[in-house]
Each structure stands twice: as C-alpha cells, then as structure tokens.
C-alpha cells in the first residue's frame, strides 16, 4: 500500500524493520525497548544519540538547544507564548496567517496576551493576488509590519492542509521591526529540505510526519530565550525545566523518542537532508507536472509557494471525488482524501515516500481520467 497520509504517515521501512528487533530485545540487552526506563543508562544512550544525530543533520549552531516535549503541534501553540510572549515586558506577539495551522496558532496565543495578525492570505490582496483564493498564497514580505514591542513573529513554514510552503525565512527576519524573534511551525516540512533554523528564535515540529511517530514534539530553542516563562506556565512545559533535565522533567515518551532516533539514523545513512530535498523536489515536480498537464485535476496554489510535501488537488467534477478515493484503495493508494475543512483530495509525500509511490499514484490518476474523463 502507498500511504499518502498527512500524519501519522509512512515511516521508512528500515526503521520499522529495526523496531521489530528492538521490541523483543534492544541492543542485545535482553530488554524490550518498551520496557526501558527514562532514568536508565539505556535511555541515556538513546536520548544522547537522537539529540546529537539531529543536531548534526541540521547543522545546528551551539546557540540552540533541542527539546523533546509532549503536547503535539497544537500544544506548542500554547507552550511558546507561555515561554516567550513576555520577553519584552509586555505580552505581545505577531502572526502571519497563511492557512489552517497558522490560524490555530494565532487563536491559541490570544489566551496569553496581545496577539495580532500582521499579515494574512485569508482575503484576496487587491494588488498582488487578486485572482487567488484565500490561503493559496503567502503574504508578500514587504506587506508584513511587525509591532515594535512584539516578542515574536510566528508563521507556519508549510501549511499541511492548504499546501502552501514558504521558505524565505531570512526575508521574514529582515521584515521584523523591533526585536521580535522568528518562530516557525515546521511540523510538516521539518527535515524535508534545508531550512535556515539558525536565523530563528524557536522552531517546533510534531514528530508524526518526518521525524518519527506521534507522542513527541521537537522544539529547537535559542538559548537566550530560555528562562522567561509566564508564571502560569506549567512546570513540565517550562523550557528552563526541560533543558535542565535533558527533556526528562517528567516521564518523556521514551518509545517515541527512540523511533525519532532511528529516523535520524536512517536520514544520516541515506544522504541527509540534502538528499531528501532533491528527492522531494523530484517527487513533487513529477506530481505537479502531471496535474498541470490536464484540466481534469487542479491545484490552485500560487506557483511560488506550492508545497513539496502536501499537495491538495481537486477533480473538476467533485461528484467523482468519493469514487476516486474508493477505487484508489483497491489500487493500493490510501489516505488520499483531502482534509475535512477543504474537501477534495490531498497527496502527502514525505521523506519516506519513494518515487515508485508517486508513479503509482500518477498511473492511477491517469487511468481514472481515461475512464471518467
């Protein structure tokens, strides 16, 4: 089966294979990886390797620490304001809303202070994007005006549902007035291409797309932003406690961290992020080329920000969507339905999806068009 789920999604086969041994006997210790305590020397090894492999893959500067936390991507939307919204004395943060997930980030932050949308693609900008639908483009950098006392500017680097990917992070940093830091939700394009983490204050990613299974959330935090949490911040979510305890302030998701560690090793032995980036470029190019070659299928995302990993698309005749999904399954293609908020279809093609999977999907789509077109 080719699994095009947006998450939890395909894991590399080699990772699952390794897990099947470690579940019975981890590293010839006679202990299942399920039985390992977070205070044991075994977990120490798992944790340290996961942390250092990730650091190496990202080329991360020593100004940053990596935290393995819980709460998922949506938990991060609360954890971040509770930790850094007060860093300038007033609780203030700015948001760029370019789709479903960044909109949720903004709504959550409103509970912790003065959150403001400083740019949005939820309406057709009269000048630049007048023919585009909402959330099919990313606001022009020149249009973004941050507030002088804002603690951070948050955006989503890849809108998983809408299929909008924005990677000019340095451009965003340069657009900041005052001393706000950049915060990026990288949940769906983390590790899929080179991203300039070293220009940000905080990035976060839930693991269940490109970094393992659900249950762990990875934060990369610039060290000088640690230690300024609001009083209401739960102790387990306070960056200071998490850093000081090496992500073991409370019991961490041991198994999920172990799986992330396996994924990082798989990435290292498969050419690292550079190689993933060229694979993902090729896979998405094949898919967009096909969609653009026919009017039977459409993708309306502005060409400058089409996501390489989450591609929503529609059939010209929406009545055929359910039939498309049903027949796909019998052709070995699963989880191709669009998000409930969007309808239509969506192909998520993360690092673990091989080119053969894209070929299978395109062949199926071609056959479907031949029959129903």
- Positions that interact with ligand PMP (CB under 6 A): 6-7, 72-74, 101, 156, 160, 185, 187-188, 206
Selected catalytic residue, list 22, 185, 266, 283? 185
How many other CB atoms are found less than 10 A from the CB of residue 340? 7
Token output for 271: 């050419």
Catalytic residue among 209, 266, 283, 337: 209
Q: Could you tell me if 50 and 208 are in contact, meaning their C-beta atoms sit under 8 angstroms apart?
A: no
Instruction: Tell me the closest approach of the beta carbon of residue 158 to ligand PMP, in angstroms.
Output: 6
Is 145 catalytic? The answer is no
Nearer of residues 157 and 241 to ligand PMP, judged by Cβ: 157
Q: Which is nearer to ligand PMP, 29 or 74 (CB)?
A: 74
- Rounded alpha-carbon distances, angstroms, from residue 323 to 4, 24, 123, 312, 348: 17, 42, 32, 17, 19
State the minimum distance, in angstroms, from the CB of residue 314 to ligand PMP.
Answer: 20
Is residue 353 within 8 A of residue 1, CB to CB? The reply is no
Alpha helix positions (H), 5-40? 13-22
Nearer to ligand PMP, 88 or 121 (CB): 121
The torsion region of residue 219 among left (phi > 0), alpha (psi -120 to 50) and beta comes to: beta
Residue 213 or 315: which CB sits closer to ligand PMP? 213
309 vs 315, beta carbon nearer ligand PMP: 309
Q: How far is the CB of 106 from ligand PMP (least distance, A)?
A: 12
101 labelled catalytic: yes
What is the DSSP pairing of strand 164-165 with strand 158-159?
Answer: antiparallel
- C-alpha–C-alpha distance, residues 103 and 99, integer Å: 6
Catalytic residue among 26, 101, 169, 266: 101
Q: Is 2 annotated as a binding residue?
A: no
> Which is nearest to 218 in space by CA: 65, 373, 21, 17?
65
- Looking at the Cβ atoms of 88 and 160, the one nearer to ligand PMP is 160
User: 285 labelled as ligand-binding?
Assistant: no
Question: CA-CA-CA-CA torsion for 237, 240, 241, 246, nearest 10 degrees?
Answer: 110
Q: Which is nearer to ligand PMP, 187 or 229 (CB)?
A: 187
The answer to whether 250 is a known ligand-binding residue is yes
Dihedral sign, Cα of residue 329, residue 331, residue 335, residue 338: negative
Say how many C-beta atoms besides its own lie within 10 A of residue 292's C-beta. 12
192 is in an annotated binding site: no
CB contact burial 11-25 (16+ within 10 A = b; e otherwise): bbeebeebbeebeee
Cα 174 to Cα 100, 165, 244, 275, 372, distances in angstroms: 25, 19, 32, 29, 49
Judge whether 209 counts as a catalytic residue. yes
Q: How far is the CB of 208 from ligand PMP (least distance, A)?
A: 7
Shortest approach of ligand PMP to residue 151 CB, angstroms?
20
Q: Is 39 annotated as a binding residue?
A: yes
Minimum CB separation from ligand PMP for residue 56, in Å? 24
Secondary-structure percent of the chain, ordered helix, strand, coil, rounded to 5: 40, 15, 40
- Count of residues making up the chain: 373
**Shortest distance in whole angstroms from residue 205 CB to ligand PMP:** 8
Q: 200 a known binding residue?
A: no
Q: Which residues are annotated as a binding site for pyridoxal 5'-phosphate?
A: 101, 160, 185, 208, 250-251
Q: Which active-site residues does the annotation give?
A: 101, 185, 209
């Amino acid at each position: 089966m080719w699994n095009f789920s947006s998450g939890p999604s395909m894991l590399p086969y080699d990772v699952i294979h390794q897990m099947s041994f470690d579940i019975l006997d981890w590293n010839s210790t006679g202990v299942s990886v399920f039985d390992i305590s977070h205070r044991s020397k075994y977990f120490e090894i798992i944790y340290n390797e996961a942390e250092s492999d990730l650091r190496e893959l990202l080329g991360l500067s020593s100004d940053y620490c990596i935290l393995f936390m819980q709460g998922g991507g949506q938990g991060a939307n609360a954890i971040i304001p509770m930790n850094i919204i007060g860093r300038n004395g007033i609780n203030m943060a700015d948001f760029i809303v370019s789709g479903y997930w960044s909109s949720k980030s903004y709504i959550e932050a409103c509970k912790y202070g003065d959150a403001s949308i400083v740019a949005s693609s939820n309406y057709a900008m009269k000048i630049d994007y007048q023919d585009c639908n909402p959330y099919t483009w990313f606001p022009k950098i020149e249009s973004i005006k941050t507030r002088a006392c804002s603690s951070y500017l948050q955006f989503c680097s890849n809108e998983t549902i809408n299929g909008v990917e924005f990677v000019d992070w340095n451009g965003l940093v340069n657009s900041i007035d005052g001393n706000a830091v950049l915060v990026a939700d990288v949940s769906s394009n983390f590790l899929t291409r080179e991203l300039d983490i070293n220009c940000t204050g905080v990035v976060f990613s839930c693991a269940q797309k490109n970094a393992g299974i659900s249950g762990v959330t990875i934060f990369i935090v610039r060290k000088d932003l640690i230690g300024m949490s609001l009083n209401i911040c739960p102790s387990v979510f306070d960056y200071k406690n998490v850093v000081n305890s090496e992500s073991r302030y409370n019991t961490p998701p041991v198994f999920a961290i172990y799986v992330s560690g396996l994924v990082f090793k798989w990435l290292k032995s498969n050419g690292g992020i550079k190689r993933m980036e060229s694979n993902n470029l090729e896979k998405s190019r094949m898919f967009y080329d096909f969609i653009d070659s026919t009017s039977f299928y459409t993708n309306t995302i502005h060409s400058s920000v089409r996501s390489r990993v989450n591609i929503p698309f529609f059939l010209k005749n929406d009545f055929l969507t359910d039939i498309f999904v049903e027949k796909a399954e019998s052709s070995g293609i699963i989880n191709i339905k669009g998000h409930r908020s969007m309808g239509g279809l969506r192909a998520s093609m993360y690092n673990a999806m091989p080119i053969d999977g894209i070929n299978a999907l395109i062949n199926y789509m071609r056959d479907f068009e031949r029959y129903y077109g």
